[in-house]
Structure 1
Amino acid sequence: MSANLHNSMKVGIVHFMAYPETMGGDGPTVETIKKIVQDDFFSGIEITSINKPEERKEAAQILQSGGMTVGFGAQPILLRNKGNLNSFDEAERRRAIDLVKAGIDQAYEVNAAKLGFLSGAKPENQQDVALQLLTNSIKEICDYAKSKGDLVLSLETFDDETDKKCLIGSNKLAVEVAKEVRKVDPTFGLMLDLSHLPMQRETSSDALTAARDYINHAHIGNCYIKDPSDPAYGDQHPRFGYPGSEIDVAELAEYLRSLLEIGYIGEGIKNIVAFEVKPVGTEASDIVIAQSKRTLIDAWSLVHSRTGRLVS
């Protein structure tokens, strides 16, 4: 295994989470994208909708000239608009599909290579019906994406009972959906996020082993699930090592080791591993980003060390 972190993965960052004031499509989007592009630690970035066409055009130019691998997050679009791709109400399901299609249009505008999205809410019953509806929705979305180019789609797995309370959920369940969708789109895959695993009640090894043939994107982050009154509670992606939280250097190292074991990262492999971290309270975005980079370097050193407990 290479000691060089950047020779074993492309390090990315979810821009709209690091700078949450841009998540709705406004705010200092172009300015903050420039900050990330100028930081040579990063070769990947995930952005979401940008409301002003002229800003989309400027962002696309910056990302292209910076040589960035670009992802587009449709998750905020669905969450903000309460879009549910597995709704039992056909009109609601169609509205959610149209929301993702609009995201696909913007993804092509900014020359994104990949688009991520999430399932809708987990119903109290008839989950098998919901799974079929989700699969049908994704197949339609894949057809739309492929009709316009070669954008790769990725279903992100979330918590099913803590915060987002999504249908997907379990990574094994996600694999069932991915198997069906790949019958129409062989490039379709799953996005696994370290910060979601404690809420999914899965270890890094269990989750990544289950999804090994389907994972096409990886996020790294943290979660806090002890006290609902804490501002970081749930799916808020606090910095690594946030007091009382679930993920710090050792846990990140375990996740990286599992990514190595399934072949997602490794010598000469340039798959994306992207930070999804968000400031809490008065924390500054740039400081949280810097702390994240240091945590990744420390975790990679732990994985790589011959004396580290994670090395077999």
Structure 2
Amino acid sequence: MKDSIHKYFQIGTIQWMSHPPADYEVLESIKTICCDEYFDVLEVTQMKDEAVRENAKKMLEQAHMRVCYGAQPRLLGTGLNPNDINEENRLKAEKTLLEAVDEAEYLGAKGIAFLAGKWEEKTKEEAYVQLKKTTKRVCDYAAEKGMAVELEVFDYDMDKAALIGPAPYAAKFAADMRCMCNNFGLIVDLSHFPTTYESSKFVIQTLRPYITHFHIGNAVVKKGCEAYGDQHPRFGYPESANDTEQLLEFFKVLKEEGFLSKEQPYVLSFEVKPWKGEDGDLVLAGTKRVINRAWALLDD
């Protein structure tokens, strides 16, 4: 494409993935990313320290960054399950998501994202009803603040084993939610397509009416290989599924399906992380190179 990718997408990265909290101080990470003009968006998550949260808000405002809020760590890090068939436990998950809406609003985000919880075959239908209940409550609360709610589609049997996807099941859930809530949408992630055994074309065409946000990244789906599962290694990682060729195909499908919008650009964020001693900034730089090459190869 002759036009810059920034004409059609707001490019972001996921802070806690690019700079894992065990190795990077959150405010230093935010400043580093905010000072990089390649990024229009920063996706952040829970900040328990009030002073950290206040300083992060100031930096994001000064850098003129669009803010997105991921509540996934609030669930994954605690084991809370928004589709838990135990009602008391479901309400605990609902509570942290409602708190996430408040924190997101404070930080300047216009919504939150989360994921479904684990499931079992014998209680799958019950879990589906529970997830609808949680999502409806969170959507209603977010709507009072003019905010949106997005569910990220994950694998169902490989790593996260979330209730939602695969894509057809995600489409069913999204259709049910849209009947009740017009502020609900889906996040699709290129790195999850190999983990659900689906292609870019299939996922995007299946979920076309409901997609509101994109992530891109990589995965290793060969059993026994390093970084197997939903680990988001860098593009081109050994034995991994995605590199420039797969990202180009992803861009082709987005173009064909009408997702290139200069008037209302979608968020397109990196979801890659350094693996075992790798440098997060080098991984970010490599991701930009893959994106720039794939975009350059996309036909006008």
Secondary structure in structure 2 of the residue aligned to 1:125: helix
Gaps of at least 5 residues in structure 1 are 306-312
Question: Contact 1:2/1:8 (CA < 8 Å) preserved in 2?
Answer: no
How far is the alpha carbon of 1:2 from its aligned partner?
A: 5.1
| CA deviation map 1:173-221 (0-9, x unaligned) | 1121112222332121000000000011110000000111100010000
2:251 corresponds to: 256
Residues 245 and 119 of structure 1, relative CA distance in 2, 3 Å threshold: same
Q: TM-score, normalised by structure 1?
A: 0.92
| Cα distance between partner residues in 2 of 1:33 and 1:228 | 35
Deviation at 1:284, TM superposition (A): 0.4
Unaligned runs of 5+ in 2: none
Distance 2:296 2:264 in 1: 18
Mean CA deviation greater in 241-250 or 101-110: 101-110
Is structure 2 residue 232 aligned with structure 1 residue 205? no
For residue 72 of structure 1, give the secondary structure of its aligned residue in structure 2: strand
**1:2-151 maps to which residues of 2 (within 5 A)?**
3-21=3-21, 28-147=25-144, 149-151=145-147
- From 280, 291, 298, give the equivalent of 2:286: 291
Residue in structure 2 matching 1:193, options 180, 184, 189? 189
What is the alpha-carbon distance in structure 2 between the residues aligned to residue 275 and residue 228 of structure 1?
A: 25
What are the Cα deviations for residues 49-96 of structure 1, in whole angstroms up to 9, with x where unaligned? 111111111111111121111110100110011111111111111111
Deviations 1:249-280 (A, max 9, x none): 00011111111222222445411110000000
Q: Deviation of residue 45 (structure 1)?
A: 0.8
In structure 2, the CA distance between the partners of 1:275 and 1:83, relative to structure 1 (3 Å rule), is same
Task: Classify the secondary structure of the residue corresponding to 1:304.
Answer: coil
TM-score by length of 2: 0.96
Could you tell me which amino acid in structure 1 is paired with residue 200 of structure 2? S
Q: SS where residue 227 of structure 1 aligns?
A: coil
* Cα separation, partners in 2 of 1:183 and 1:22, compared to 1, 3 Å: farther
Question: Per the alignment, in what secondary structure is the counterpart of residue 3 of structure 1?
Answer: coil
- Give the CA deviation at 1:229: 5.4
SS in 1 for 2:42: strand
**Counterpart in the other structure of 1:166:** 162
In the TM superposition, 1:209-288 aligns within 5 A as 209-228=205-224, 230=226, 232-288=227-283
> Counterpart of 1:310?
none
CA distance in 2: counterparts of 1:208 and 1:48, whole angstroms: 26
Runs of 4+ in 1 over 3 A off after TM superposition: 266-269
